[in-house]
Chain A
Amino acid sequence: MSAAHPAPPHEDDIVGRVYDARLVGRLKEYVLPETPLLLASTALMFVVMGAQLMQPWIMKLLIDEHLLKSDAAGVARLALLYFLTFGVELVARFGQLYTMERTGQNVIRDLRCRVFAHLQSLDSSFFDANPVGRLMTRVTTDVESLADLFASGAVSLLGDVVKLCAIVALLWWLDWRLALVTFTAMPVLFVLSVMFRGRIRQSYRDVRRRIARINAFLQEAIGGMLLVQLYRREPEDRRDFEAINRDHRDAEVRSVVYESTFSAVVELVGILATAAIIWYGGGRIALGVLTFGTLVAFLEYTARFFGPIRDLSGFYAVLQAAMASLERLFDLLDTEPTIVARAPHAALAPGAAPDAGATPGAGPDAGDAAGRIVFDRVSFAYVPGEEILHDVSFAVEPGMTMALVGATGAGKTTVIKLLLRLYDPTAGRILLDGRDLKEMPPETVRRRIGVVMQDHFLISGTVAENIAFGDPLLSRERIVAAARQVHADPFVRAFPRGYDEAVRERGGNLSVGQKQLLSLARAVASDPSILILDEATSSVDTETELLIQDALRVVLRGRTSIIIAHRLSTILAADRILVFHHGRLAEAGPHAALLARGGLYARLCELQFGTRDAGPLRAAADRPLPAAEAPA
């Protein structure tokens, strides 16, 4: 079962543009609530910048007004002032870094929770098509690459640009002729950086693409290593790997060439500016139109000018990674669930018979209704064209226990999934107390049903939390009562911490039987009117088996129940039995009648219990079925 939501084949290889206005626009929604923090960060950034820009100026004053006039006290005063600006710069910088980090962390926390919450709302078919591993990447790695974006300073990038402009303006104001000469090399830098930027970007992209190939290759090669060894393909695989590894190395070396050359060129232009200042400024000092202080200030300002330019190129890689992640995250957030409540007047599926023993129309309100279930000509396909259920109709009266039997793949589990509204039928309808499931919000449907599935899903938490799985606010008394009802209470009390005993990952510290009993306790904890049970095929010891059987007897009493039965005792206790065969409802009726018919059910019984006789069958009722050996 797959492909209801086909994923693009190489989704994880998206390399991404460096900047995508649409994506950034959507990110705004998450950033806007952090406006106060952002404003504070921006304000602090200006304080940092102001302090930084004041420092060369103070130096100029120190030299011109005091040092060259041999005023030692004035020198000390200005040195102190310099220190003060330094202190202000540092405190403000700390504040700026911290507020920025805080903004980023808030944004990614919200985004992460949003993505997780959205995943909770998506259809089961979505999860059929998307492996858990990939979805986990969305909640972890993809969100993290946004954190890098904030930490590396989207705001300081803006700050850098403002700072560059401010320095140019200041130098112009100090001595526009010298400023002109200082910046003669700037157009060269500009042309070079435009030339290099494209190459650097391309080389980063190459590196990313090739590391993705290495990843894909390794994933497959390591996962299939034993097969490769059995078929002695190691040399060929090694040769292939070396080729893509070499490719990656070459791309990396290329990016080193561009990066090193670029940063060296920026430095060159910086030092050339120093030379220009000495050459032209020196002449102007000789003419007496320039002071030593201004010359030093020029040198200091230009030193502060070229640092940020060098940092800019490193920012690309971070930005590119963040854009690719954002794209994947928003794609996920754009996936809409289809299992939602629909208006009651929604048309019936074409071809659906209006009545199959059902009484449609306005049924009683959900809350305390009896729990009458009707399948009305239901068909279903996980993948369009591959129908799993064909035209299935049956009714389960309130309080009745219905057993579903059939070979693996006959469609029993699908019936349960449809009843839980994990999927909607492709044709036909399902009625709960007279109301079409499609008209009810899925939560309303599910709240009325207690479920025990085959794979006893336990969360890492305490025993009590696992019983209160469906209702975290359940009182301790009701948790204990539920456990007592299904005979789980004694073994839970035997734990050192009783109900507060931690359940290890996937219930590692519990036996199979204990897991079954806990799942049963969970299903009845909120006292649902309907109970769905997919009986476990795994065998447990005789004592536990008896406990489970007795617990079942208790919890089935007074509830509408549908059971995928693997135990003979369960089948015998059922009011009616539905026999599924290749997605169709083949036979229906009580055990004795079906057996007497000598059809599918009789053969199934023989298959599962080794006899067609009713006599030994009853005797066999106390032992569990052997593990299913039916064809897959």
Chain B
Amino acid sequence: MRFILRQLRRHRRDFGLGLLFLIATNGLTLLVPWILKRAIEALKEPGGAREASRDAAAIALVALVLVIVRSMSRLYVLGASRKVVAEVRSALFAHLQTLPASFYARRRTGEIMSRAVNDLMLIRSLFGPGVLNVINVALLYTSGLAMMAVIDPVLTVASVLPYPFLLITVGRVSRTIHQRSNAAQEQLAEIGNKAQENLSGINQVKAYVREAAEVGAFARLSEEYRRRNLSLAMSRGLIVTLMGGLGGISTVIVLWLGGRHVIDGTLTLGGLVAFMSYLAILTGPTVMMGWVLGVFQRGLGAIRRVEEILAERSDLPGDSLPGPGPDLGGAVAFRGLTFAYPGGPPVLRGVDLEVPAGATVGIVGRVGSGKSTLVTLLGAVHPVPRGMLLLDGHDFNDLPTADVRARVAIVPQETLLFSRSIAENIALGAPGAPRERIDAAARVAQITRDLEDLPQGLDTRVGERGITLSGGQRQRVALARALLLDPRVLVLDDSLSSVDADTEEAILAGLRQFMKDRTTFLISHRVSTVLGADRIVVLDGGRVVESGTVGELLAADGLFAALHRRQQIEREMEAL
């Protein structure tokens, strides 16, 4: 609750003004029946028509002021609620940016989205209409009852007799509504699960001609959902009816008892009419109470969920270190590195590897051998035990995360382009880079010629109007992105897999100059990619099983040699 409440406090001026205007609004609203009472009382006297028309003018005047005051009260309160929510959303996003990979491994994108969109919508309803209505009810009840008591205290007590009963019932039924609404939501989730399961396996469903059975199962889920919704509608209808019924009892009490008071002469006809008006003003918000209760319940739940995310903290020691630290060179050392993802078995076991600055290391191994994890750790995305991973002689735990990332450029296995222009995608890590540098990076990545076919070259937006880049093109854009960072350490995590062999050779040739004074890690399923490396490391089951120059490894006739042979056969096959 803490953060959001603090944010609320920042807008206390708006909420306060809103409250003032709300008080004025209610005061004026309650004034109208009072003037009405005076007018009707005047009309009972001979020659009261003049006085009555003065009262009519007064009512018109009140109405004019009221329209302004009411608008202002809503503008302040509702406007402030919108502003608070926008600020919370900004803060939430900024906070998300600080959260580490482990957080994103635990929570799905959809879930986080739902916090940032749906839950904030609920919070908006809580602080906007929710707060507005609660204050309104409180003000109307206190001042309205006071006015009624002035007119006829006995009648006031009699007319509010049903109210305690009403409040108890509202409380009880809204609990039922809450349960039933949860039950309906759960069933909707079931429907979603069924659709997900079915649609992701649609080919199997078709292959087994199971469509009818699936439709049947889906229909049963939908029917159950309908049933639960109707039982929810039943209790919702019940609460509306009950509340209306109790309001009706009050009105009847006023008509009957008030009528007798008029006949007795203890109450004027004008007083009775005004009393009825007050009662009507009170019943409106009362009927809303059930809804407001729901808004509060849902809103508080949403606040809890959003605060839960805001309470998450990065598990990277480097995130809390003040930067910038020492200027970093490109020497990398893995010293007995053992690493496991949270809750999982070790992915890397005792990896020892000293890479001097400027060296090129090729890493090969089967799927799941730990190659990707090994190099991803260089991006400081997961906490690593002290003493096991060093950059330029400094332990990763002692380096500010931003410093590491400024020096290490990783091109991940999965290429991700954002729906912006290609130039902006290349300049992802170096916003404001001059066009010549972007052009140069594009040239080294061998993407320049492909860009000529696009309508606006580098300024073509990715994903717009059906313009899609091929896998190889996307990978080359991602490579250019890394080059532009001008890093000390460059990591290519199988990032040229969709590029054809000839283009890859051209890229590597162009990179040679770039790689000369930079430490480079090359992961590839293609042996040919790593043949030019100073050193080759073969990983298997998270361990280094072979390490040496290409010549040494081929001579050793181990895994690398086998892999090398396989790829030669594959080349032969391609040629057939």
Residues of A within 8 A of B109 (CB): 219, 222-223
Question: Would you call A603 an interface residue if the criterion is a C-beta within 8 Å of the partner chain's C-beta atoms?
Answer: yes
Q: Which A residues between 196 and 245 are near B, CB-CB below 8 angstroms?
A: 211, 214-216, 218-234, 236-238, 241-242, 245
Residues of B within 8 A of A276 (CB): 56
Q: Which B residues between 460 and 508 are near A, CB-CB below 8 angstroms?
A: 463-466, 481, 485, 497-498
Min distance, Cβ A467 to any Cβ of chain B, angstroms: 11
Query: Are B215 and A227 in touch, CB under 8 angstroms?
Result: no
Q: Which B residues between 193 and 221 are near A, CB-CB below 8 angstroms?
A: 193, 195-211, 213-215, 218-219
> Which among A63-71, A318-326, A342-350, A615-623 touches the partner chain?
A63-71
Assess A79 versus B255: contact at CB under 8 Å? Given A87-B248, A105-B229, A279-B56: yes
Assess A453 versus B207: contact at CB under 8 Å? Given A80-B252, A271-B59: yes
Residues of A within 8 A of B1 (CB): none
Assess A256 versus B201: contact at CB under 8 Å? Given A94-B241, A296-B273, A629-B367: no
Min distance, Cβ B419 to any Cβ of chain A, angstroms: 6
Residues of A within 8 A of B248 (CB): 83, 86-87, 89-90
CA of A97 to CA of B98, assembled, Å: 49
Assess A407 versus B573: contact at CB under 8 Å? Given A225-B104, A229-B97, A268-B63: yes
Q: Which A residues between 540 and 599 are near B, CB-CB below 8 angstroms?
A: 581, 586, 599
9 of the cross-chain contacts (CB-CB < 8 Å) are A59-B255, A75-B263, A79-B255, A86-B245, A120-B214, A139-B192, A233-B428, A279-B53, A629-B367
CA of A105 to CA of B277, assembled, Å: 38
Query: Are A70 and B263 in touch, CB under 8 angstroms?
Result: yes
Question: Would you call B117 an interface residue if the criterion is a C-beta within 8 Å of the partner chain's C-beta atoms?
Answer: yes
Min distance, Cβ B386 to any Cβ of chain A, angstroms: 22
Min distance, Cβ B349 to any Cβ of chain A, angstroms: 20
New A-B pairs, 17, CB < 8 Å, besides A139-B191, A233-B431, A253-B82 = A79-B256, A90-B241, A108-B226, A112-B222, A119-B199, A127-B199, A214-B117, A215-B113, A230-B381, A231-B485, A232-B429, A260-B74, A268-B64, A268-B67, A275-B57, A459-B197, A469-B210
Min distance, Cβ A338 to any Cβ of chain B, angstroms: 14
Report the tally of A-B residue pairs with Cβ distances under 8 A: 378
Question: Would you call A317 an interface residue if the criterion is a C-beta within 8 Å of the partner chain's C-beta atoms?
Answer: no
Residues of B within 8 A of A90 (CB): 241, 244-245, 248
Question: Would you call B269 an interface residue if the criterion is a C-beta within 8 Å of the partner chain's C-beta atoms?
Answer: yes
Q: Which 4 A-B pairs have CB atoms at the shortest separation, nearest pair first?
A: A231-B429, A282-B52, A279-B56, A86-B248
Nearest CB in chain B to that of A456: its residue? B204
Min distance, Cβ B213 to any Cβ of chain A, angstroms: 5
Chain A residue total in the interface (Cβ 8 A):
141
Cβ contact of A68, chosen from B116, B199, B269, B416, cutoff 8 A = B269
Question: Would you call A389 an interface residue if the criterion is a C-beta within 8 Å of the partner chain's C-beta atoms?
Answer: no
Query: Are B215 and A120 in touch, CB under 8 angstroms?
Result: yes
Cβ contact of B226, chosen from A71, A106, A453, cutoff 8 A = A106
> Which among B88-96, B145-153, B300-308, B328-336 touches the partner chain?
B88-96
Question: Would you call A476 an interface residue if the criterion is a C-beta within 8 Å of the partner chain's C-beta atoms?
Answer: no
Residues of A within 8 A of B201 (CB): 457, 459
Query: Are A607 and B569 in touch, CB under 8 angstroms?
Result: yes
Query: Are B56 and A275 in touch, CB under 8 angstroms?
Result: yes
Q: Which B residues between 45 and 60 are near A, CB-CB below 8 angstroms?
A: 47-49, 52-53, 55-57, 59-60
Query: Are A76 and B256 in touch, CB under 8 angstroms?
Result: yes
Query: Are B244 and A93 in touch, CB under 8 angstroms?
Result: yes
Q: Which B residues between 233 and 260 are near A, CB-CB below 8 angstroms?
A: 233-234, 236-238, 240-241, 244-245, 248-249, 251-252, 255-256, 259-260
Binary A-proximity of B406-440 (CB < 8 A = 1, otherwise 0): 10011010001011000000001101000000000
Residues of B within 8 A of A495 (CB): none
> Which among A351-359, A373-381, A442-450 touches the partner chain?
A442-450
Question: Would you call A98 an interface residue if the criterion is a C-beta within 8 Å of the partner chain's C-beta atoms?
Answer: yes
Min distance, Cβ B490 to any Cβ of chain A, angstroms: 13
CA of A62 to CA of B238, assembled, Å: 30
Question: Would you call A600 an interface residue if the criterion is a C-beta within 8 Å of the partner chain's C-beta atoms?
Answer: yes
Query: Are A279 and B263 in touch, CB under 8 angstroms?
Result: no
Query: Are A603 and B57 in touch, CB under 8 angstroms?
Result: no
Query: Are B233 and A98 in touch, CB under 8 angstroms?
Result: yes
Question: Would you call B178 an interface residue if the criterion is a C-beta within 8 Å of the partner chain's C-beta atoms?
Answer: no
Question: Would you call A109 an interface residue if the criterion is a C-beta within 8 Å of the partner chain's C-beta atoms?
Answer: yes
Query: Are A232 and B196 in touch, CB under 8 angstroms?
Result: no
Question: Would you call B394 an interface residue if the criterion is a C-beta within 8 Å of the partner chain's C-beta atoms?
Answer: no
Nearest CB in chain A to that of B378: its residue? A230
Nearest CB in chain A to that of B254: its residue? A79
Residues of B within 8 A of A120 (CB): 198, 202, 205-206, 211, 214-215
Query: Are B233 and A101 in touch, CB under 8 angstroms?
Result: yes
CA of A38 to CA of B127, assembled, Å: 37
CA of A226 to CA of B380, assembled, Å: 11
Query: Are A267 and B70 in touch, CB under 8 angstroms?
Result: yes
Residues of A within 8 A of B193 (CB): 460, 505
Query: Are B429 and A233 in touch, CB under 8 angstroms?
Result: yes
Cβ contact of B32, chosen from A83, A132, A237, A271, cutoff 8 A = A271
Nearest CB in chain B to that of A296: its residue? B273
Query: Are A629 and B566 in touch, CB under 8 angstroms?
Result: yes
Query: Are A453 and B209 in touch, CB under 8 angstroms?
Result: no
Residues of B within 8 A of A101 (CB): 229-230, 233, 237
CA of A102 to CA of B236, assembled, Å: 13
Q: What is the interface of chain A mostly: helix, strand, loop, or mixed?
A: helix
CA of A407 to CA of B222, assembled, Å: 44
Query: Are A140 and B188 in touch, CB under 8 angstroms?
Result: yes
Residues of A within 8 A of B570 (CB): 407, 607, 630-631
Residues of B within 8 A of A76 (CB): 256, 259
Assess A278 versus B36: contact at CB under 8 Å? Given A67-B259, A79-B256, A285-B49: yes
Assess A79 versus B572: contact at CB under 8 Å? Given A274-B59, A278-B36, A469-B210: no
Assess A136 versus B196: contact at CB under 8 Å? Given A90-B245, A275-B60: yes
Q: B71, B200, B263, B379 — which one has the most chain A CB atoms within 10 A of its CB?
A: B71
Query: Are B97 and A632 in touch, CB under 8 angstroms?
Result: no
Question: Would you call B525 an interface residue if the criterion is a C-beta within 8 Å of the partner chain's C-beta atoms?
Answer: yes
Cβ contact of B63, chosen from A105, A232, A271, cutoff 8 A = A271
Query: Are A469 and B245 in touch, CB under 8 angstroms?
Result: no
Nearest CB in chain A to that of B260: its residue? A72
Question: Would you call A9 an interface residue if the criterion is a C-beta within 8 Å of the partner chain's C-beta atoms?
Answer: yes
Cβ contact of A79, chosen from B196, B207, B223, B259, cutoff 8 A = B259
Min distance, Cβ B287 to any Cβ of chain A, angstroms: 12
Q: Which A residues between 261 and 295 are near B, CB-CB below 8 angstroms?
A: 261, 263-265, 267-268, 271-272, 274-276, 278-279, 282-283, 285-286, 292, 295
Query: Are B59 and A211 in touch, CB under 8 angstroms?
Result: no
Question: Would you call B402 an interface residue if the criterion is a C-beta within 8 Å of the partner chain's C-beta atoms?
Answer: yes
Query: Are A631 and B525 in touch, CB under 8 angstroms?
Result: yes
Min distance, Cβ B411 to any Cβ of chain A, angstroms: 10
Assess A603 versus B66: contact at CB under 8 Å? Given A233-B431, A253-B82, A451-B207: no
CA of A219 to CA of B419, assembled, Å: 11
Question: Would you call B24 an interface residue if the criterion is a C-beta within 8 Å of the partner chain's C-beta atoms?
Answer: no
Min distance, Cβ A382 to any Cβ of chain B, angstroms: 13
Question: Would you call A422 an interface residue if the criterion is a C-beta within 8 Å of the partner chain's C-beta atoms?
Answer: yes
CA of A68 to CA of B525, assembled, Å: 100
CA of A231 to CA of B206, assembled, Å: 44
CA of A248 to CA of B93, assembled, Å: 15
Query: Are A218 and B197 in touch, CB under 8 angstroms?
Result: no
Question: Would you call B83 an interface residue if the criterion is a C-beta within 8 Å of the partner chain's C-beta atoms?
Answer: yes
Question: Would you call B168 an interface residue if the criterion is a C-beta within 8 Å of the partner chain's C-beta atoms?
Answer: no
Assess A278 versus B52: contact at CB under 8 Å? Given A139-B195, A231-B405, A272-B60: yes
Question: Would you call A116 an interface residue if the criterion is a C-beta within 8 Å of the partner chain's C-beta atoms?
Answer: yes
Residues of B within 8 A of A175 (CB): none
CA of A631 to CA of B56, assembled, Å: 88
CA of A132 to CA of B196, assembled, Å: 7
Nearest CB in chain A to that of B428: its residue? A231
CA of A276 to CA of B39, assembled, Å: 12
Query: Are B240 and A97 in touch, CB under 8 angstroms?
Result: yes
Question: Would you call A113 an interface residue if the criterion is a C-beta within 8 Å of the partner chain's C-beta atoms?
Answer: yes
Residues of B within 8 A of A94 (CB): 237-238, 240-241
Residues of A within 8 A of B134 (CB): none
